[in-house]
Chain A
Amino acid sequence: MRVHGGEVESFTAATQSGVGVRAWIGGRVGYAYGTDLSEPGVEAIARRAAEAARVAGEDEFAAPPRPAEAEALPGLTDASVEAWSAAQVAELALGVERAALEADARVVGVEQAVYADSTERVAVASSAGVAGEYETSTCFAYLQALAEGEGARETGLGFGLARGPDGLDPAAIGAEGAARAASMVGAVKPASRACPAVLDSTVAASFAAMIGGALSAAAVQRGRSPFAGRLGEALAAEALVLHDDGRDPEGSASAPFDAEGVPRRRTALIEGGRLLAHLYDTYTANREGGESTGSASRHGYRSLPTVSTSNLVVAPGSQSLDALLGEAGEGVYVTDVAGLHSGVNPVTGVFSVGASGRAIRGGELAEPVREFTVAGDLISLLGSVRAAGSEARWVPFGGSVSTPPLLIGEIAVSGS
C-alpha cells in the first residue's frame, strides 16, 4: 500500500510460489528453478538442475546437507496480517503520512508512505532425508518526509517493522521521518578532519551488516574478506560484542532452520574484542571439516543458498545517547549514510561513504551537517568503538540487525 497526499496511490495484492531444485552429481552441483508447480513442470525443473550439474566443475567438498532435528520456533507469525482489511491498512499508511505532516511546520510533504506485509511458507526436502516446513509473517511501514527551510529541501526516513500491523505505531513512524527531515534544515558542510563520531542505530546497523557479510566463511576461505586469517585475534574494542542469532523471535530473519534445512542457531562472532567465529553453510563447513552454523540464506526459490548473517545482534552497553555525545565532545553524530553498495569494498574493508547528521560541540548536538564523507576501514572501525549505547533497535538495512548507537573514537570526515 503506497499513499501520497492523503490518497492511496497504489495497492497490490498478490501471491507467488515457486520451487528451486539443487542437484549433486558427485561433487558437481547444478540448480534450476521455476514457477510451474505441476508434476511435469517440477520434473522439468529437476531435469534442468541435473543438466546444470553436468556443466559444473568437480568440488570434493560439495555434498548435500545431512538431516538434523530443528527445534520448533513459535512466534514467527501474527494473526493481524490476515485479519486486517485493505481499508485498515490504508488507514495505517495514511496515518503515517498525517503524523509526519502534523509533527513539524517545516514538513512540507511526504514523498511517499508505504505499508507492506507478507506471509511466507517455506519447505525444504532432500534425498538425504532433510524435511522441514515453517511459516513466517513480517510487515513494515516507512515514509520519506520532506522538510523545507533556509532555501533548501531535506528528506527524512521513518520506519517500523513487526510481525503484523498490530505491532506498528504509525504516529511514531511519521514523527521519526518528520524529526529527521526537520532536523536537517539549514545543514552545512562540516570541515574535513579526523574526529570522534556517534553512529545512530540505523548507521551502526549498516556498518554491522557490512562486517557481518565479511564474516561469511565463503568470503574468508576465498581470501575475499578483511577477516581472512584473523580468527582468534583481538581486533575489536572490548565495547563491541557481536552475535548472529537465527532464533531471536524478534528478528525478522529467524526460522527453525536455514535455507538448506540446517537448524538456525546463535553464534558468538566477536566477544572480549576477539574474533571468535565465521559463519558457515554445509559446503564451507565441509571445507574446514567443521559444522555448519545454519547460515545458508536465499532470496527465495530463485537463488542458490549463499552464506550470510541471519539476525545480527550488537550487544547494548550501559550509556544513554546523551552520555555518548558527551563523551564524544567534539565530532559528528551520523544519522544517515549513502552509497554503501559502492563505497565499501567488501574484500579489503576500505570504505568511504556519504553521510549526514549533526555536529557535536561541547558534548551536545549542534548544527545539522551534510554532504560529507566518512572514510576508513572496517577493522580499524571495530578497533575504535569506544562505547555502545543502552538502547538497541531492529533495523532492516542490509539484512536484519539489532544495534544500539555506537561511539567511535576517531573517523576521517571529508567535507569542506
Chain B
Amino acid sequence: MSELIDPAVAERVLAAALANGGRFAEVFAERRQGFSLSIDESRIESVQSGAEEGAGVRVVDGATTYFAHVDGLDPDDLVRAAGEAAAALRSERAEPRPLQAVATVPEPIERRPEDVDAERKAELLRELDRRGRDKGTEIAQLTASYAEVRREVAVANSEGLLCGDDRTRVRIGAQAVARREGAVETGAETLGGHRGFELLEDDPGQVAERAAAKALTLLDAGPAPSGSMPVVVGGGFGGVLFHEMTGHGLEADHVQKQASVYVGKLGERVAEPLLSAYDDGRLPGEWGTDAIDDEGTPTRKTRVIEDGRLTAYLYDRLCAERDGVASTGNGRRESFRHLPIPRMTNTYIAPGDATPEAMIAEVEKGFYAVSFAGGQVDPATGDFVFGVSEGYLIEGGRVTRPCRGATLIGNCLEALAAIDAVGSDFEMKTGFCGKGGQKVPVGTGQGHVRVRAMTVGGTER
C-alpha cells in the first residue's frame, strides 16, 4: 500500500482537500489489473486485459460531500483533484491529523493468477466446454468465462488513518443452451472467491456440467404455476432472497432516509425465532470478503437478526456518524471513481435444524425454487421480485416436475415473517450487487428455507 500512495503525498492531498473548509477529508487510491477470456462455439475469444489506476478525494462539510477523482497516481494530479473537490467549499477548516499507518492482513493468495500462463486459462475453458457438451447431444451451445482481478487499495484520511488492502478475486462461469425440437432452455453456474488460482484446483469442470444439467432438466419443464403457495427455497444462491428482501433494507442510508420498511424495527420481532442472520465481511476466501472496507474500517461479522429479532443495521462512516454509532465496515465502492455507501459483504441466514427433505414432505402443493437468476427490491416499499432459474412443482410432499419462467414476488416484511423452516445444509454463492449505479462483489448464502406463502408468477392457467 505504501507504494500506492506515499504518506507525505497523502498528507499534502488531505491538506489541499481541507484548504477551503470541511471537517473530514479522505483520499482513496487504487490500482486495478484484470484479465479475462471466454469460450464460445468451442473457440477462445474476448481475451482482454486491463490496467487502471487512480484516486478519489472527498471532503465532508456538514451534510454535504464533495468528491473528485482522477486517473493516475501522479502526486500533482492528486493535489489538483483535492483542489477540485474543495473548490465549492467556503467554511471553517479542520486541521488534518498526522497519518499513522495501520497494518492490515489481506486475504492470503496461494497462487497469484497473474503468474499463471494465459494458455493454462484457455485450456481450463476448453475443458469446461468439453465437460459441458459431454452431458448430452441436446446441449446446443456452451459458453464459459474466466476472470481475475487484483485491486490494490490505500485509504488515508484527515483523522490520521492510513491503511491498505490487496484483493484478488477469481471467478469462472458457464452457461449452457439445451435444445430439443422446438424447446430451448438455458442453465448457468458460477464459482468464485476472494482467492487466487487455487480456487480452480478442485475440478472446475463441474461448473460446466452443472450448467448443462440444469438446461437439460428444464427441457422437460412445464409452465410455472400462478398464485400464492408455500415456497421452498434452495441453499446457496437461494440466499439472494434474504439479500434482497432484508439486506438492502438494513443498509443505513435507506433507513436514515426513511426509505426502508425496517425503519424503527430495531429490537423488534421480524421473523420466527428459528431465524438468525449475518453480514460477515471476514469469511475466509469468500467473494464478498475484504480485510478493510473502502473507507479503511476493518470488516467484521455483524449479526443482523438474532432469533427472529432485528439487531443491527449496516453502516458506512457517514451514516454511522449520523446515528452516533461505529461503522460496521460496510462502506464499499465499485472503484476510486465512486463514493462509498453502505453495502452488504457476505450476507447469509445461519443454518437451522430442518432437512430439505422434511421441509418439502410437509408441503401439499407448492413450489421449489432451487436457484435464482437474480432479484430486485424497492427498499422503501419492501416490494421484491426474483427470477427463478431452476424451479420445480411440489405436489403431495414430493418434487414432481420442473417449471420454466417463474418469478417470485412479495413484500419483505411479510415474506421474512413467513419463513417457517431453515435448513441445516449451508452453502455460499457469489454474486454482483448493484446499488446507486455501483456494482460490488457480494456473497449470499443459506441452507434451504421454506416460506409459508409467497406469490409465484407463472403462465399456467
Contacts and interface: CB of A to CB of B under 8 A. Distances in A.
A35 B51 contact: yes
B285 interface: no
B411 interface: yes
A383 interface: no
A412 B459 contact: yes
A404 B405 CA distance: 27
A398 to B, nearest CB: 13
Contacts of B455: 189, 371-373, 414-416
A127 interface: no
B177 A223 contact: yes
Contact of B226 (A55, A302, A412): A412
Interface string A396-416: 000000000000000010111
B177 A339 contact: no
Contacts of A15: 70-71
B45 A29 contact: yes
A35 B53 contact: yes
A56 B380 contact: no
Nearest to B42: A57
Interface stretch (A152-160, A201-209, A232-240, A267-275): A152-160
Contacts of A216: none
Given A9-B64, A12-B339, A109-B258, A342 B375 contact: yes
B302 interface: no
B49 A32 contact: yes
Nearest to B87: A13
B interface SS class: strand
A189 B383 CA distance: 12
Contacts of B118: 51-52, 55
A326 interface: no
A338 B385 contact: yes
A29 B50 CA distance: 15
Interface in A157-195: 189, 192, 194
Interface in B47-72: 47-54, 62-72
A69 interface: no
Contacts, number: 247
B50 A32 contact: yes
A371 B458 contact: no
Contact of A16 (B48, B119, B186, B337): B337
Contacts of A341: 373-374, 376, 387
A14 B70 contact: yes
A347 to B, nearest CB: 5
B46 interface: yes
A48 B49 contact: yes
B224 to A, nearest CB: 7
Give the one of B70, B88, B456, B461 with max A CB within 10 A.
Answer: B88
B86 to A, nearest CB: 11
A224 interface: yes
B338 to A, nearest CB: 9
B257 A109 contact: yes
A153 B386 contact: no
Interface string B365-394: 000000011111010110111110100000
B64 A373 contact: no
B48 A32 contact: yes
A357 interface: no
Given A4-B257, A342-B374, A11 B66 contact: yes
A343 interface: yes
A45 B104 CA distance: 32
Given A18-B71, A33-B48, A351-B405, A339 B85 contact: no
Contacts of A376: 459
Given A18-B71, A224-B177, A352-B405, A57 B45 contact: yes
A144 B259 CA distance: 10
Given A194-B461, A412-B226, A414-B457, A10 B66 contact: yes
A10 B381 contact: no
A16 B30 CA distance: 14
B64 A348 contact: no
23 contacts: A7-B62, A9-B64, A11-B65, A11-B66, A13-B84, A14-B337, A18-B52, A35-B52, A48-B51, A59-B45, A111-B254, A146-B259, A155-B381, A338-B376, A352-B405, A352-B459, A353-B387, A354-B407, A370-B381, A371-B411, A374-B457, A375-B226, A415-B455
Q: Which 9 A-B pairs have the closest CB atoms?
A: A373-B457, A342-B387, A354-B385, A342-B374, A339-B385, A57-B43, A414-B457, A352-B407, A342-B373
Interface of B: 37, 40-41, 43-54, 62-72, 81, 84-85, 87-88, 118-119, 121-122, 140-141, 177, 179, 184-186, 224, 226-228, 254, 257-259, 261, 337, 339, 372-376, 378, 380-381, 383-387, 389, 404-407, 409-411, 455-459, 461
Given A13-B68, A35-B54, A58-B43, 17 more contacts: A13-B87, A18-B71, A29-B47, A32-B50, A35-B51, A36-B51, A52-B37, A52-B49, A111-B254, A153-B381, A304-B46, A338-B384, A339-B385, A339-B386, A351-B405, A372-B455, A374-B457
